[in-house]
Amino acid sequence: MSERVIQIDLGSPLEFYGPGDVHLSLIKSLFPKLKIIVRGDLLKLIGTTDEIDLFEKRLDLLMIQFDTFGKINSDIVKKIMGEEQNSDNITDTEDSDVLVYGNHGKLIKALTINQKRMVDSCEKNDMIFAIGPAGTGKTYTAVALAVRALKNKQVKKIILTRPAIEAGESLGFLPGDMKEKLDPYLQPLYDALRDMLTTQRFLSYIEDDTIEVAPLAFMRGRTLNNAFAILDEAQNASESQLKMFLTRMGKSSKFIVTGDITQIDLPKQKQSGLLQAQKILKNIAGIDFIYLDGRDVVRHKLVTKIIEAYNNIDDKMQKT
């Protein structure tokens, strides 16, 4: 006999168990050979290894169903967990390219060649730089990779940060409390997270610091272990700020740095740390640079044309 403890990694296990634990009771009845002991969001399984493996595979699919649509019913429990389902075809329902199953059944995956390069590179490297113009999905893909790593228990927390350069990272003159001052600069990161997590789970992760969203200045002096950290808008980090962030990397962590070198808002006397990093870090093993361009734009088709128009002007200015 074998024993295994698995976690119901959902915002509300009580909703997953159903009113009066109706879904949980049905799940138990479908696996009569297993002893299932429930302790909050933890299930202790006692039985044969094959039976436990089969149960875990089916339960993972049931949790994906719940996470995607926010609810399950008895028919869905029977269909996914029931004995009529053949263990050989369980994985067939999953799309290997999907990074995250988002809200309302949305399948979140890399949509372009360079976004797929980001995904592949993240599997092989602990630190990657994704550089490209607006709308190329670099931030969105990075957040999806972070959420996937968290759901797969590869990391214990996600840290998302941006330099609040528009206010010079001195936010005291803005109205409201600290959260209200920071939210305008961090909103794109919140938007991506809300696409990928239910509202309840998003709020739960923010509340218990499983997901931390903060300005770059707040990273100073820390060591980020077992974390997936993303620095967004890195073109607006100074050389010293970017060095500070990169050296926060601790054990079992992944770092993604995203930025658009055509939209640097730093004062003229300061050089972008992202420009410097391209030169001095490009030959270090474990660090990779992925470059996205107009072909990767996944916003409105006009965005591609706007990027091309500005690129043409830049080319003409360089030639004069």
| Tens-digit pLDDT profile for residues 5-41 | 888 877 668 888 989 999 999 999 999 999 999 988 8
* Structure token digits, residue 139: 């931030």
Task: Kindly report the length of the chain.
Answer: 320
- Domains of the chain: which residue ranges? 2-92, 103-319
The Cα-based distances of 36 to 29, 47, 177 in angstroms read 10, 9, 47
Q: How confident is the model at residue 91 (pLDDT cuts 50, 70, 90)?
A: very low
At 63 the pLDDT is 83
| Alpha carbon distance 136, 141 (integer Å) | 9
* Cβ(125)–Cβ(286) below 8 Å: yes
Q: What is the pLDDT of residue 92?
A: 38
Q: Residue range 187-199: average pLDDT?
A: 86
Assigned CATH topology for domain 2-92: Ribosomal Protein S8; Chain: A, domain 1 (3.30.1370)
For position 297, what pLDDT does the model report? 80
Q: Which pLDDT belongs to residue 165?
A: 58
Averaged pLDDT, 220-228: 94
- Where does the pLDDT of residue 317 fall: very low under 50, low under 70, confident under 90, or very high at 90 and above? low
Instruction: Note whether 92 and 106 are within 8 A (CB).
Output: no
**pLDDT number for residue 67:** 72
37-55 mean pLDDT: 90
Give the pLDDT band of residue 241 (cuts 50, 70, 90): very high
Q: Are 310 and 141 in contact (CB under 8 A)?
A: no
pLDDT score of 234 more than 50: yes
Tokens of residue 217, six digits: 């200045």
46: which residues sit within 8 A by CB, 6+ positions away?
A: 1, 2, 3, 34, 35, 36, 37
Least confident range from 51-55, 201-205, 232-236, 295-299: namely 295-299
- At 256-292, the pLDDT tens digits run 999 999 888 888 878 999 999 999 999 999 999 999 9
Q: Is the pLDDT of residue 169 over 50?
A: no
| Helix/strand/coil for 94 | coil
Give the predicted TM-score (pTM) of the model.
0.69
> Which pLDDT band, with edges at 50, 70 and 90, does 159 fall under?
very high
Cα angle, residue 190 at apex, residues 228 and 168 outer, rounded to 5°: 85
What pLDDT, on a 0 to 100 scale, did the predictor assign at position 93?
39
Separation of alpha carbons 136 and 154, rounded Å? 26
DSSP 21: G
Under 8 Å between Cβ of 218 and 244: no
Instruction: Using the predicted structure, report yes or no on whether residue 229 has a pLDDT greater than 90.
Output: yes
Nearest of 105, 107, 112, 109 to residue 97 by alpha carbon: 109
Whole-number percent of the chain with pLDDT over 70: 84
Domain 103-319: CATH superfamily is P-loop containing nucleotide triphosphate hydrolases (3.40.50.300)
Nearest alpha-carbon partner for 51 in 72, 28, 74, 67: 28
Average pLDDT over residues 101-123: 86
Give 67-86 pLDDT, tens digit per residue. 766 778 888 888 888 855 44
pLDDT of residue 90: 38
